Chains A and B, each alone.
Chain A
Amino acid sequence: MAEQLATGSRRGLRPALPLLLPAYLWLTVAIFLPLSAMVFFSFMTDLPLAGKEWSFTLGNYAAFFSQSLYLTLLLASLRLGLEVTLWCVVIGYPAAYVLAKVLKGRSREAIFLLVILPFWSNGLVRIFSWAMVLREGGILDITLNAVLPFKINIDLMYSYPAVIIGLVHSYVPYMVLTCYLTLQAIDDSLIEAGRSLGASRLQMLKRVIIPLSMPGLIAGAALIFVPVVGSFMEPRILGGRTGTFYGTVIEDQFVAVFNWPLGAALSFILLAVVLVILALAAPVLRRAG
């Protein structure tokens, strides 16, 4: 399969060039140029704005290694990324399975709409509505107290779980969509064939369905893990004092402290770490699938 694709794309490359050109132009202008500027900034002592003196330095990168705080925060952010990704798998994969294999027709369309609704709502609105639900005496408390016979006070606001809840809610649609696409491509007759051979539903899941939907799981995990590690909005609003992560520190450098060079350097360290993790994980995941 891989070889076929490779030869196919090689043959198809020349006529495809005009089609690819707009995308590459756009990528060059919108991503490559600003990114190069950022690389440049990350090696400066100060911004060349407002006529300040500046020179080249490795100090911004050295700062990461000289202060253990950055490493601690990076590890906390990686853990956050891992946990959110896992929760998205736990919640998103079964949902995708039901959408792809159990529901049919109208009900499938309706549920699908509900799943991708978060995509269409503004990120800030989404986060602040969670704040209203989770804060002390908020909607969650009111609801629980109305149902439960005893007084309860779950103050989830400004806590690690609140950050997780907010992030999972924002990112779970990615997992549902990528898994839905791969699950839907699995022919129902494969499942019937397996069951006629004596496999239980659980055995079918383990041996056929999960391996065949692995590409969707991997794509979903990559789409979620990378932005969550660098996230700052949800940690700041829902996490409060507990919400200091690597992403919020980078944001501070840009919007509060105005130390763009340090912010840029920290970003590229994050980028490098994430790329290394993805490179290490790829062969393991590919073998599983």
Chain B
Amino acid sequence: MAGVQVSNVSRSFGAHKALDHVSIDFPDGGFYALLGPSGSGKTTLLRQIAGFDFPDSGRIAIGGESVERVPVEKRRIGMVFQNYALFPNMSVADNVAFGLSVRGEAKATIATEVQRALDLVQLGKLGGRRPHQLSGGQRQRVALARAIVTKPRVLLLDEPLGALDKALRVDMQIELKRIQREIGITTIFVTHDQEEALTMSDRIGILRDGRLVQEGPPEEIYDRPQSEFAATFLGDANIFRGDATGHGIRLPDGMTIAAGSGPSLAAGTKASCAVRPERIQISTGNAKLDMGNANMLEGQVSKRIFAGNNSTYFVDRDGQTVKVIVQNTGAERLAEGQPVVLSWSPESTVLIAA
């Protein structure tokens, strides 16, 4: 096992910078999700770590050793591809055995290791099948077994669940997480599903246009995004824009919003505040407000979307639509057009430099 250090890595294709001075420390044994929109450089970064492609500048180390001159086959990494890339001319067992047999392991060792790996992914009985006789989820698990049977130092997964339907995807998320914990392998997981990143990983790195936007534990990124992009890309957020007041912002109509966290900004500079929709309390004028809700805005319900256990209200105020998510507790529903008061605490508000 080993951690991976990526320092100042850049990679251009022609004039296009696919990676622009990216530095990330992937901790030993951790589960790290790389998140970002399409074309942000996630696959490119993974390919630099795997050794399929080489950075123009910067340094990559696995287990503290620079891998600049180490070819793919010597890096001891396991890779799971989005399309699984199983060898169609081999049985499931031969696919899994491939990495061991090219290393010249003894037949008996290979047989036991392959069986153990197949048992781990709960495919113990399907070793004799061909890849085309398996379902998508089963293929994905064979690809995983094949990648981990050689005991790699790092496991690289490029959107491995992308092709699966929602229900199977959730099953596989749990399965993958269980296996990762069981063998304790450093895992780098590419996805553009933010929910997947939040639920599975110890740390998340958000990429945008080849640059690392923010990285850290999921809670930290969710609760304290450092940019509007991070706030809106990971989860949902209401963004209020105005002028910094020191500990919050002043909106164009003169209302102020207090923020409990964020950088200290000089008064008068452009700034914004991000608030998660589920942190906002919505009430009609005569209801009692929470004591801590120092931030308060008035508006009018423009739309309500019912989603079973919760409802989303869209509230118009001063040309802006604020999104509020409310648990359905059986309380009175607000009608469209009804005037309401929105309130939330400064602790739920993050100040972001423009």
Contacts and interface: CB of A to CB of B under 8 A. Distances in A.
B98 A196 contact: no
Contacts of B83: 187, 189
B134 to A, nearest CB: 13
B102 A198 contact: yes
A192 B53 CA distance: 11
B87 A190 contact: yes
Interface in B138-161: 146-147, 150
Interface in B48-106: 50, 52, 71-79, 81, 83, 85-89, 98-99, 102-103
Interface string A173-203: 0000000000000010110111111111001
A196 B89 contact: no
Nearest to A211: B89
Contacts of B99: 197-199
Given A187-B85, A192-B52, A198 B79 contact: no
Contacts of A203: 102
Contact of A192 (B75, B79, B86, B98): B79
A197 B146 contact: yes
A273 to B, nearest CB: 32
B150 A197 contact: yes
A197 B132 contact: no
A101 interface: no
Contacts of B146: 193, 197
Contacts of B52: 192, 195-196
Nearest to B47: A192
Nearest to B94: A207
B87 A1 contact: no
Given A193-B79, A193-B81, A212 B72 contact: no
A76 interface: no
B72 A195 contact: yes
A115 interface: no
A34 B50 CA distance: 62
Interface residues of A, number: 19
A208 B81 contact: no
Contacts of B88: 212
Interface in A104-142: none
A187 B85 CA distance: 8
Nearest to A188: B85
B314 to A, nearest CB: 43
Given A1-B132, A203-B102, A207-B98, A196 B79 contact: yes
B102 A196 contact: no
Given A193-B79, A203-B102, A207-B98, A198 B85 contact: no
A192 B147 CA distance: 12
A189 B156 CA distance: 14
B284 to A, nearest CB: 57
Contact of A194 (B50, B76, B87): B87
A207 B104 CA distance: 14
B89 A194 contact: no
A192 B89 contact: no
Contacts of B73: 195-200
B85 A199 contact: no
A267 to B, nearest CB: 38
A207 B83 CA distance: 20
Interface string A1-26: 10000000000000000000000000
Contacts of B78: 196-197
A208 B79 CA distance: 17
A192 B146 CA distance: 13
B51 to A, nearest CB: 8
Nearest to A193: B85
Contact of B98 (A189, A199, A200, A289): A199
A124 B35 CA distance: 63
B176 to A, nearest CB: 18
Given A195-B73, A198-B74, 10 more contacts: A1-B132, A187-B85, A189-B81, A192-B52, A193-B87, A196-B52, A196-B72, A196-B73, A198-B76, A199-B98
13 contacts: A1-B132, A189-B85, A192-B50, A192-B52, A192-B81, A193-B79, A193-B87, A195-B52, A197-B73, A197-B78, A198-B73, A199-B102, A207-B98
Q: What 3 pairs across the A-B complex have the smallest Cβ distances?
A: A197-B99, A193-B85, A189-B85
